[in-house]
Each structure stands twice: as C-alpha cells, then as structure tokens.
Amino acid sequence: MEPDEGVVKFRATHATRALDARIHGELAARLGGWRTVLFGLGLIGQDAGRYGGVGYGNVSGRVGPFPGARGARAFLVSGTATGGLPCVDLEDLCLVRRYDIAGNTVLSEGPRVPSSESMTHGAVYDLAPHLRCVLHAHCPAVWRARAALGLPTTPPDVTYGTPQMARAVARLARESRLLERGLFAMAGHEDGVVAFGRSPDLAGAALVTAVARAAALAFETTGRSCG
C-alpha cells in the first residue's frame, strides 16, 4: 500500500456550494447506479484490512459543453472520503471545471472537495472528446493478472493523482491500444484499475468483463475461480 493512499496531491481551488439537480441530477443518478454496483463487488469501498482503512475507488462523468478544450473538459466526480458510503448522490459529488496537469491544479465546486484521483480522470478525458465516464476501482485479481490479461499499465514508479500519472496515461494512449481497450492498470498504485468509455454503461461493462476474465484465468491456472 502507498503510505499516502487517499491524499490529495494537487493544489485545489474549491468553492463549497450545492450543485443544481436540474443540470446534474440525471448524470449523478447514472454514476450513482454504477457506483452502487462497484461497491457491492468490493471494487470501491472502505475496509479496515485494506490500504490502512482509507476509502478507495471513485467515479466520474463528463458534463457539457462538448467537446471542451483539454484541461477544461468539466466532469462530476465522487468527492474525497466517500469510499465507505454504500450509495452516493449529488450531495457526495464534486464538479471539476478545470485541471492543469502541468501546474498540478484543479478548479472545482460542489458539496465535496474533489477525489484525490481527479487529475487522472482529467487526463483520461483529455485523450478524446467522446469519452464520457471514468471508473477507478481497486481489484486485486485484475491488477495481479494485468500482464496475462494484456492490460496497458502505467510504470511502477508513477503514483496516483500526480502530473506524472497524467502524463503516463497520455503515453499509454500513444504507445498502446488503450482507447480500444478502455481499461488500464496502475503498477504503482496497489490494485488500481481504471475503466473508461462513451458512457457509464460501457465503462462499467469493460471493468466487470475484466473481473470475469481474471476469474477465468485463475480457474485455468489453479482450478479455482475465487477464494
């Protein structure tokens, strides 16, 4: 486990205010639905026996205007310290309006301050304007099988939530079939896996499929798919 798991590593300028449900309610509901599924699977959560008891995993979805310039592709993201909640709604989210990877800064508003992984979410959205959802999960089975599964993977010396991680994601997109796969692992972030796509449903399907593939691989190797 990284000793600073869950720590925000960027400089945040945040305005604490309510988010308008008329504008963001539908997207918040879709993100909340997948967030509930991932929590039930143990891919997002908080456990005293994992990562020092700090919450893990987060979800985000793009908001308009589209396509948006790089660094200004605004998105809703789950707030920091929400990992232990079994369900989230608009009150548990944050609107990231801008993110400057070179300057390591994030401009946001909402009831919660942004997730410590917000810079990485922004880096994914900067890959292509059609990307509309990012799901960051912690899945030991997929993470351990990342090479066997052929997952694009960021270097082991690159930690989460940093400009270095954002740049590593951009390199993966240039050097691998990342945009086709819609999934990558973080070698320097224990159990960290990121899925993304044109919608929450497509991102969620990519992640759950990877979990099933990891289980199938375990069965082929050991004769047991779980446990």
Helices and strands (H and E) in the chain: how many: 6, 9
State how far the Cα of 166 lies from the Cα of 85, in Å rounded to an integer: 27
Q: Which residues pair with 227 in a beta bridge?
A: none
Whether the pLDDT of residue 97 is over 50: the answer is yes
Name which residue leads in pLDDT, 2 or 33: 33
pLDDT at 9: 75
Which among 96, 33, 87, 38 has a CA at the least distance from the CA of 62? 96
Which among 101, 102, 140 has a CA at the least distance from the CA of 121? 101
Residues of the chain above pLDDT 90, percent = 81
Q: Cα–Cα–Cα angle for 92, 136, 59, nearest 5°?
A: 30
Q: Do residues 117 and 5 lie in contact, with contact meaning Cβ atoms separated by under 8 Å?
A: no
Q: Average pLDDT of 11-21? A: 94
Name which residue leads in pLDDT, 219 or 202: 202
- pTM for this predicted structure: 0.93
227: exposed, middle or buried (Cβ count in 10 Å: 0-12, 13-18, 19+): exposed
pLDDT at 5: 46
Q: Which residues pair with 196 in a beta bridge?
A: 134
pLDDT at 88: 94
pLDDT at 12: 85
Q: Average pLDDT of 15-31? A: 97
Whether the pLDDT of residue 3 is over 80: the answer is no
Give the chain's mean pLDDT.
Answer: 92
Whether the pLDDT of residue 227 is over 70: the answer is no
pLDDT tens sequence across 155-192? 999 988 888 999 999 999 999 999 999 999 999 999 99
Whether the pLDDT of residue 84 is over 70: the answer is yes
Q: Do residues 112 and 82 lie in contact, with contact meaning Cβ atoms separated by under 8 Å?
A: yes
